[in-house]
């Protein structure tokens, strides 16, 4: 068994080397000669299908990809390449069905971009222009701390040797809320591998009683995406406007670049991704300008499917803010991590859990609190997703956020419970 596995790995390595040199016909010939020996092995059939597709044999590619999908229905790479093979055969209807089915699974953002571009190609004969996909969500729930403030109203300030009485609005407030969200993303192919991409999203959340802490946001992005053999690369300009109590509280402009590997099959080592964001925060209200800053964030991660019903991902982050407004805490640097897991419990029911943490350290000495600020934040979210109908789902979830700090005015505890209805549109 070990010898056979070693022989297969050597065969796939030689074929990959040929493909990397552009010798697709040779790679296909090498693999097809061993088809009788390795037929039914997922790694071999997937490599054979890709070699056939790039060698101009999409008919043979669909056969190989069909064997992969039969053994692993969740193999994203094979299902995407199956759609590409249908496109190469001129079978646009089947290609459209394949790409729409993948989009219905709510894949990661970069993969959605690639699928939208392929879907636009499949619809090219009867529909000109970009292909778009959107959503609408409605939520209601309760929050233990809508203003993310400390629970106590009095705080000792060592630099003043006095107890500070916080204003009422700066002490934790609980309330119920309702929220709405809507977004759209679109892709227009410019060539076989390059697409113009863009998106927009609006969010709003209103509290039943504490209207000063109603929040909202609008996001717009535009850029380019390039689809390689195994990766999708995107570069986008983004603009964000946040509101608090009905007035603009923060404006963000950023450049975002990310690279995502196409998802691997269940039980394989998984797929990698990475990203970088840099930009600026600006606060129009005079009392908030001290929080103006330029920022940069880098991240890398890994996503895997331990089995056909579960998906797991881990992300590591590093970044910081350069103070531009005179923040007494100074510049910030931080490290963080995020773990996410989702599993199918029943045909229409999924359970998801997300845990993230971040440690932040500042370089400014706060003379009032006689300390250099250091924060530690932890967020936990869990929710059930139930498919009520095609493209319509309900979510029942809870979110817990805890921030500890050596400067007590930055500490808080918050727990939100919510029920959401979310509808997808193509």
Q: Quick check: 329 pLDDT over 80?
A: yes
Choose the weakest-confidence range: 3-7, 47-51, 211-215: 3-7
Q: Quick count: other Cβ atoms within 10 Å of Cβ 269?
A: 9
pLDDT-based confidence at 116, cuts 50/70/90? confident
265, part of any domain:
yes
User: Residue 263: its pLDDT value, please?
Assistant: 58
User: Residue 384: its pLDDT value, please?
Assistant: 97
Are 69 and 167 part of one and the same domain?
no
Contact 25, 52 (CB under 8 A): no
Provide the token pair at 96: 């459209």
Per-range mean pLDDT, top range of 27-36, 46-55, 84-93, 309-318 = 309-318
User: Residue 416: its pLDDT value, please?
Assistant: 98
User: Residue 360: its pLDDT value, please?
Assistant: 97
Are 170 and 47 part of one and the same domain?
no
pLDDT-based confidence at 3, cuts 50/70/90? low
361, part of any domain:
yes
pLDDT-based confidence at 266, cuts 50/70/90? very low
218, part of any domain:
yes
For residues 406 and 323, what is the distance between their CA atoms, to the nearest angstrom?
20
Phi, psi of 138 (to 5 degrees): -130, 135
119, part of any domain:
no
Are 24 and 138 part of one and the same domain?
no
What tens digit of pLDDT does each residue of 372-416 get? 999 999 999 999 999 999 889 999 999 999 999 999 999 999 999
Final residue of a domain: which of 88, 105, 122?
105
Contact 396, 107 (CB under 8 A): no
Phi, psi of 270 (to 5 degrees): 105, -170
Which of 404, 328, 369 shows the shortest CA–CA distance to 164? 369
Are 259 and 159 part of one and the same domain?
yes
**Whose structure tokens read 């929050």?**
143
User: Residue 24: its pLDDT value, please?
Assistant: 85
What tens digit of pLDDT does each residue of 271-307 get? 889 999 999 999 999 989 999 999 999 999 998 877 7
110, part of any domain:
no
Which of 175, 193, 156 shows the shortest CA–CA distance to 371? 156
User: Residue 314: its pLDDT value, please?
Assistant: 95
Angle in degrees, CA 63, 64, 69, rounded to 5: 95
Choose the weakest-confidence range: 75-89, 97-111, 132-146, 387-401: 97-111
Final residue of a domain: which of 62, 88, 105?
105
Are 172 and 58 part of one and the same domain?
no
Are 405 and 312 part of one and the same domain?
yes
What tens digit of pLDDT does each residue of 122-178 get? 776 555 567 888 999 999 999 999 999 888 878 888 887 777 777 777 889 999 999
How far, in Å, are 7, 11, 21, 45, 57 from residue 52 at the CA level?
21, 15, 15, 10, 5
Are 91 and 202 part of one and the same domain?
no
Which domain, by its residues, includes 253?
132-425
Are 147 and 283 part of one and the same domain?
yes
Are 94 and 136 part of one and the same domain?
no
Arithmetic mean of pLDDT, 196-222: 96
Choose the weakest-confidence range: 84-93, 142-151, 197-206, 323-332: 84-93
Our count of domains for the chain comes to 2
127, part of any domain:
no
125, part of any domain:
no
Are 137 and 101 part of one and the same domain?
no
29, part of any domain:
yes
Are 185 and 96 part of one and the same domain?
no
CATH of the domain at 36: 1.25.40.10
Are 213 and 77 part of one and the same domain?
no
User: Residue 4: its pLDDT value, please?
Assistant: 60
CATH of the domain at 266: 2.40.160.40
């Amino acid at each position: 068994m070990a010898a056979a596995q070693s022989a297969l790995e050597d065969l796939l390595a030689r074929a990959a080397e040929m493909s990397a040199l552009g010798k697709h016909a040779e790679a296909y010939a090498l693999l097809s000669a061993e088809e009788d020996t390795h037929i039914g092995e997922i790694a071999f059939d997937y490599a054979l299908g890709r070699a056939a597709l790039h060698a101009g044999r999409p008919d043979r590619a669909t056969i190989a990809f069909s064997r992969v999908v039969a053994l692993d229905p969740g193999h994203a790479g094979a299902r995407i390449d199956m759609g590409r093979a249908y496109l190469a055969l001129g079978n646009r209807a089947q290609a459209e069905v394949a790409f729409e089915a993948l989009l219905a699974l709510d894949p990661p953002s970069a993969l959605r971009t690639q699928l939208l571009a392929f879907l636009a190609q499949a619809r090219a004969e009867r529909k000109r222009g970009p292909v778009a996909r959107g959503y609408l969500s409605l939520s209601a729930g309760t929050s233990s701390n809508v203003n993310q403030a400390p629970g106590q109203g009095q705080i000792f300030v060592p630099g003043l040797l006095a107890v500070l009485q916080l204003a009422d609005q700066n002490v934790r407030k609980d309330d119920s809320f309702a929220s709405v969200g809507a977004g759209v993303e679109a892709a227009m192919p410019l060539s076989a591998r390059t697409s113009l991409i863009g998106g927009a999203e609006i969010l709003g959340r209103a509290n039943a009683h504490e209207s000063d802490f109603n929040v909202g946001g609008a996001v717009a992005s535009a850029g380019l995406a390039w689809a390689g053999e195994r990766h999708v690369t995107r570069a986008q300009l983004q603009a964000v406007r946040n509101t608090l109590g009905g007035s603009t509280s923060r404006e963000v402009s950023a450049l975002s670049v990310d690279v995502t590997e196409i998802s691997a099959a269940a039980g394989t080592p998984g797929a990698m991704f990475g990203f970088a964001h840099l930009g600026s925060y600006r606060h129009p209200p005079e009392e908030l300008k001290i929080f103006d800053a330029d920022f940069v964030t880098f991240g890398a991660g890994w996503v895997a499917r331990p089995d056909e019903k579960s998906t797991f991902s881990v992300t590591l982050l590093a970044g910081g803010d350069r103070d531009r407004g005179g923040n007494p805490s100074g510049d910030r640097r931080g490290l963080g991590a995020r773990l996410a897991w989702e599993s199918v419990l029943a045909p229409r029911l999924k359970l998801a859990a997300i845990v993230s943490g971040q440690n932040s350290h500042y370089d400014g000495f706060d003379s009032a609190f006689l300390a250099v600020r250091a924060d530690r934040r932890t967020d936990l979210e869990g929710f059930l997703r139930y498919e009520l109908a095609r493209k319509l789902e309900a979510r029942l979830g809870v979110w817990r956020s805890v921030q500890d700090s050596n400067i007590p005015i930055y500490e808080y505890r918050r727990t939100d419970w919510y029920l959401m209805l979310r509808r997808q549109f193509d």
